[in-house]
């Protein structure tokens, strides 16, 4: 069955000389692993550059139940993402968030409310020009609502004031949050520890040191 569905790119890695295995979070099928033949080849209609972390793409997936790897016949970018790709801070945050989503989104079934939250968040992030460095903090707090472990802020002591502020901020209000890079790193570590308590085999986030370095340069 061929299913056309909007998809969010989570992760890609090379398979063989020119093909890719790509992990997607799709609107209609939940998380899916797809095989893209010849994506790294010069003549491919679906080039590797199309499958960058957090890119929103329209896909046609040849879906078969009980199959670990699906095939894809077509994919196209749903909106331009030049700012995420070229902006150093946005690019580092995109890699970080994509890694978080790769570790937390595991269900192979549709959750359109979650997909809608993710797609709207990515769209807002792409267009954002102020408060960019704080995007991931608000995103991680709001994501817990959809993952089922939204924190009881009344039980948080040391971080309660900032955590409460994060929970009330929209992406359009990020510039209100006035913190330096050391505070930002500390809050990120705190949120990662919270995720690790609730997500099995969460492990270390490999992209976090890169994010810390980028913040220190601002």
Cα dist. 197→128, 151, 193, 201, 203 in Å?
Answer: 31, 12, 6, 10, 10
Predicted pLDDT at 159: 59
Domain range for 198: 82-216
Q: How many domains does one find in the chain?
A: 2
The answer to whether residues 71 and 94 belong to one domain is no
The answer to whether residues 96 and 192 belong to one domain is yes
Q: How far apart are CA 71 and CA 62, in angstroms?
A: 5
The answer to whether residues 193 and 96 belong to one domain is yes
Boundary of a domain, candidates 27, 42, 77: 77
The answer to whether residues 27 and 51 belong to one domain is yes
Predicted pLDDT at 122: 95
> Which stretches of 48-180 are DSSP H helices?
82-86, 88-104, 112-127, 135-147, 160-168
Predicted pLDDT at 16: 77
Q: 88-104 and 112-127 are packed helices; what angle lies between their axes, rounded to 10 degrees?
A: 170
Predicted pLDDT at 129: 87
The answer to whether residues 104 and 195 belong to one domain is yes
The answer to whether residues 12 and 99 belong to one domain is no
User: pTM value?
Assistant: 0.91
The answer to whether residues 38 and 105 belong to one domain is no
Predicted pLDDT at 150: 86
Mean pLDDT in residue range 76-102: 91
Judge whether residue 154 has pLDDT over 70. no
Boundary of a domain, candidates 55, 77, 99: 77
The answer to whether residues 176 and 206 belong to one domain is yes
The answer to whether residues 135 and 175 belong to one domain is yes
Predicted pLDDT at 27: 97
pLDDT > 70 fraction of the chain, expressed in percent and rounded? 92
Among residues 3, 2, 53, the alpha carbon closest in space to that of 211 is found at 53
The answer to whether residues 26 and 128 belong to one domain is no
């Amino acid at each position: 069955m061929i299913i056309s569905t909007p998809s969010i790119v989570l992760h890609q890695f090379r398979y063989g000389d020119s093909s890719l295995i790509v992990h997607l979070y799709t609107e209609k099928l939940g998380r899916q692993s797809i095989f893209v033949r010849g994506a790294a080849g010069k003549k491919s209609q679906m080039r590797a550059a199309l499958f960058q972390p957090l890119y929103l793409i329209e896909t046609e997936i040849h879906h078969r139940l009980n199959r670990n790897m699906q095939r894809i016949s077509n994919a196209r970018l749903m909106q331009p993402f030049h700012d995420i790709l070229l902006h150093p801070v946005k690019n580092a945050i995109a890699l970080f968030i994509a890694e978080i989503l790769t570790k937390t989104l595991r269900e192979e079934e549709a959750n359109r409310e979650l997909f809608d939250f993710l797609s709207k968040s990515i769209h807002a992030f792409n267009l954002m020009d102020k408060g960019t460095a704080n995007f991931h903090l608000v995103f991680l707090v709001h994501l817990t609502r959809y993952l089922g472990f939204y924190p009881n802020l009344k039980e948080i002591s040391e971080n309660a004031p900032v955590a409460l502020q994060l929970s009330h901020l929209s992406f359009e209000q990020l510039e209100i949050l006035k913190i330096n890079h050391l505070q930002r790193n500390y809050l990120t570590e705190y949120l990662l520890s919270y995720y690790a308590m609730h997500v099995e085999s969460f492990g270390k986030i490999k992209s976090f040191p890169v994010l810390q370095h980028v913040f220190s340069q601002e």
